[in-house]
Structure 1
Amino acid sequence: MIHPQMMMPFTTPTTPPSPFPTTIIHPQYCAPYPVGLVLKKEKTILHKYTVTDINDNLVFTVTSPLLTIREHRFLRDAHGNTILHLRRELFRDRWKAFRGQSMEQLEIFTRKESSLFQLRTTLDVFLANNTTRICDFKLVEAGFFARSWVVNIAESDIVVAQIKHKVGRMFRREKFMATISPNIDYAFIVALTVTLDDCMKRRRKRRMR
């Protein structure tokens, strides 16, 4: 559990979420106070991230295997335990999340593009028990040049997290700064941010063609 004095937010989401904990991955990642996290991207050929609080205490790590046909990411806690396996489907920007190390474990959520043609990127998130066409959460591009994003509940304007992208320069690493509202599963927001980074990378490649 993260201590509240060590997890002050960068900026507080303007609309308060439900006072009841929103557990996606585990109740221990739902804090009753705003949580601020920094996802630092390692300068390697692998997609590796170090996730810390604002005092640089390790909270999570994200790693990927070297040689795979599909994109895979593994979210691990500070003790090295794998809590989430993210896998991108072939030939499209759709990610599935599974509990633990194996894809044979319980599926948690699916993240996909809202539509193929968008002026500003929006990404829909469907929890595994959702049988409707209405998403449970939505990632919305909130600033220019994909530098700022918000996570909303479904199709509403209720903001439960804010994500800011900082481009790396010289010896500084590229990073994402996430602010998560109270009672929102911050491990879930970290997982969404990792898939968001992949989406941004693919869009930059398409623009360069």
Structure 2
Amino acid sequence: MAQVHPDSIFSSPHVYIDHKFCSASATHFTVLKKSLLLNGKGFTVFNSLGNLVFRVDNYASISKNEVLLMDDAGHLLLTLRRKFFRKRWEAFRGNPMESEKATFSLVKSLGFSNKITANVFVNGVRKSKVWDYKIKGSCKSSWTIFTVSGETIGQVKRKEVKSDIVLGNDILNLVVEGRVDQAFVMGLLIMFDQIS
């Protein structure tokens, strides 16, 4: 079961999917928005040493309402399910039972700007209108995840190889702050990409 508890560094409840995906300092990843195993959509995530860390290989499946986030060995970390016409996604640790509550959920905010905003609720419960995390940005350029008090826990930008060369929309640079579960942030990245 995913652990959710307050952390003295962050004001929002902290979600831990697996402690092996937590680092004391900020961690950089390269995210390819494609599967290396299947001829279709997906995600393949490498750390700064070039080692595979996360993958999503099931975008070619019939069901577009469920996405599976796996580690490098193919172990299931999160099951992400779409609800309510792409405006809400729920995340469950591993392979959930029907009665299990979501570990966290993401809800697209209504608005008319060219930027997309989504609110994240820990435990998937929306007891009040107060969100635990917020994501702002555009999946085609950059976005940021921050807490209620404005602390940044993750950022995504299009990958640059030099200061004047920007790669395509399907290659991203992900930075996850220290003491934040990287699988949690990767789950948010996938859901935010889907609502975009």
TM-based fold match above 0.5: yes
Task: Tell me the equivalent position of 1:190.
Answer: 186
Q: d(CA) in 2 for partners of 1:186 and 1:130?
A: 23
Query: In structure 2, what is the equivalent of residue 31 of structure 1?
Result: 23
Three-state SS of the structure 1 residue aligned to 2:95 is coil
Aligned to 1:159: 152
Match for 2:79: what amino acid? H
What secondary structure is seen at the aligned counterpart in 2 of 1:23? strand
- CA distance, structure 1, for counterparts of residue 97 and residue 117 of structure 2: 26
Kindly indicate whether the alpha-carbon contact (under 8 Å) linking 2:86 and 2:195 is maintained by their aligned counterparts in 1: no
Indicate the residue corresponding to 2:110 in structure 1.
115
2:135 corresponds to: 139
After superposition, the C-alpha distances for 1:2-56 in whole angstroms (9 at most, x for unaligned) are xxxxxxxxxxxxxxx9179933312222211111111112277643111110221
Q: Counting strand residues as a fraction of each chain, which structure ranks higher? A: 2
RMSD: 2.9
Does 1:181 find its partner at 2:177?
yes
Displacement over 4 Å in runs of 4+: none
Unaligned runs of 5+ in 1: 1-16, 201-209
Alignment partners' CA distance in 2, 1:140 and 1:99: 24
In the alignment, what sits opposite 2:9? 18
Shift of 1:103: 5.1
Percent identity reads 27
Q: Distance in 1 between matches of 2:80 and 2:189?
A: 12
Structure having the higher helix fraction is 1
2:65 alignment counterpart: 71
Q: TM-score by structure 1 length? A: 0.73
Report how far residue 79 of structure 1 moved.
1.4
Aligned length: 177
- What code does the residue aligned with 1:33 have? S
Deviation at 1:99, TM superposition (A): 1.1
